[in-house]
Amino acid sequence: MRWPASSGSQALSASRSSASLPRGVARAAFGGCGAGRRFVALLLGAWMALHALAAAAFEAPKFAGDVLDEAGVLDDGQRAALAERIRAMRAADGLWGAVYVARDLQGESIEAAAVATFEKWKLGEAGKDNGLLVMVAPAERKMRIEVGYGLEGAITDALSKRVIDEIYTPAFRDGRYAEGLQRGFDVLAKAVNPAARVEGLASPPDAEAVQAPLDVDWGRVGTLFFATLVGNIALAVMIGVVLRRRSKIGWARDFAARERQKTTWVVFGFLGAFFGLFQAVFGLAMADDPEVFWGLLGMNALFDLAFGLPMLFGGKGRGAGGGGSSSSSSGWSSSSSSWSSSSGSGSSSSSGGGSSGGGGASGDY
């Protein structure tokens, strides 16, 4: 029995159409095989870089008492006096303090080293987060007050900064580490418990006098916001230029490419405003933590790659009429919807008791 030629050609055409359907879906989702491989390679590279950074992070020592002096700037009597002062604060004021004088920072920032030490030592009581770490690195001449969540209302960043500037810095520069640490604990204990006794000083500094209103650096806030916004918009402009140059049928007739350019402006404008706001807020609240700036910048860059690559390699532009334009438009719509669902799946998390709240201040001496 012979099949009609028309029936055979229809069956072959139908099989080809069904076989090409997954390819069309893949192109819409990943912007073509080449772009998909590039995007996956970039994600793997970012993942490996993050793991390399984590492997090179500061290795905090094991907890070996309330006062650990690896640099040898305190003698036995001074270490014993500081340990006794910390025990008294713990009993009378509920302030679980510790002192760590590090041999060096292992190439890390003082902020990252202090957080790593605080978390490993698990300072403070679970559920109260009333731990306090004073970390000093004489080799790099840096210091940090790291405060648990439960103490941030009493020991503000402004107070920590002024304790560093007015007490620790002049004492440490003269080599009077024990005296500076003792005086600092006097002020910090009085901030937590205003009725706390201050012993050993003729005219101790007043915790209330040390606290000062937050001085908002509006210039820094504006610079971080607008720099982030302009950077994202500049990327949108660059993508638009590339789309124009790749158009083979003329920009006026390339409907799909023009639609991608419009979407690029909307998406990158939103990313610029979103990350610019975060950079401004966190850059003001955590001005002493450069890791916050670089972390947000890295997240912004990953989002730019996630949205920018499919826009650049999401398919060749075709004419304004006919089936080709309709196919590109539908592919773009499905790709946009998949991005919307993926970008909304992020979430944030926080840790529990005995952890650092990220508060405090750093300084040089």
Assess if residue 343 is contained within a domain. Answer: no
**Alpha-helix residue ranges (DSSP H) falling in the chain:** 5-30, 33-55, 76-93, 110-121, 157-163, 169-173, 177-192, 207-210, 218-246, 255-285, 290-313, 322-343
Tokens 């650990």 belong to residue: 68
Whether 196 and 261 map to the same domain: the answer is: no
Whether 179 and 243 map to the same domain: the answer is: no
List pLDDT tens digits, range 232-265.
998 888 888 888 887 777 777 777 878 888 888 8
Can you tell me the distance from the alpha carbon of 145 to that of 185, in angstroms, rounded to the nearest whole number?
11
Assess if residue 149 is contained within a domain. Answer: yes
Q: Which residues pair with 28 in a beta bridge?
A: none
Cβ distance 105 to 86 under 8 Å?
Answer: no
Q: Does residue 69 register a pLDDT over 70?
A: yes
Cβ distance 148 to 131 under 8 Å?
Answer: yes
Q: Does residue 33 register a pLDDT over 70?
A: no
Assess if residue 127 is contained within a domain. Answer: yes
Cβ distance 296 to 242 under 8 Å?
Answer: no
Cβ distance 96 to 132 under 8 Å?
Answer: yes
Assess if residue 101 is contained within a domain. Answer: yes
Can you tell me the distance from the alpha carbon of 251 to that of 198, in angstroms, rounded to the nearest whole number?
76
Can you tell me the distance from the alpha carbon of 305 to that of 312, in angstroms, rounded to the nearest whole number?
10
What is the DSSP code string of 44-91?
A: HHHHHHHHHHHHTS--PPPP-SSEEESS--S-HHHHHHHHHHHHHHHH
- C-alpha distance across the termini of the chain, in Å: 97
The predicted structure's pLDDT at residue 314: 65
Choose among 307, 317, 332, 361: nearest CA to 168: 361
Share of the chain above pLDDT 90, in %: 28
Lowest mean pLDDT among 228-237, 241-250, 293-302, 312-321: 312-321
Whether 257 and 235 map to the same domain: the answer is: yes
Q: What range does the domain containing 310 cover?
A: 216-334+361-365
Last residue of a domain, one of 163, 189, 214: 214
Of 26-30, 213-217, 342-346, the range with the highest mean pLDDT is 213-217
Whether 247 and 268 map to the same domain: the answer is: yes
Lowest mean pLDDT among 244-258, 267-281, 284-298, 339-353: 339-353
Last residue of a domain, one of 156, 184, 214: 214
Of 105-114, 187-196, 255-264, the range with the highest mean pLDDT is 105-114
72 or 203: which leads in pLDDT:
72
Count of structural domains within the chain: 2
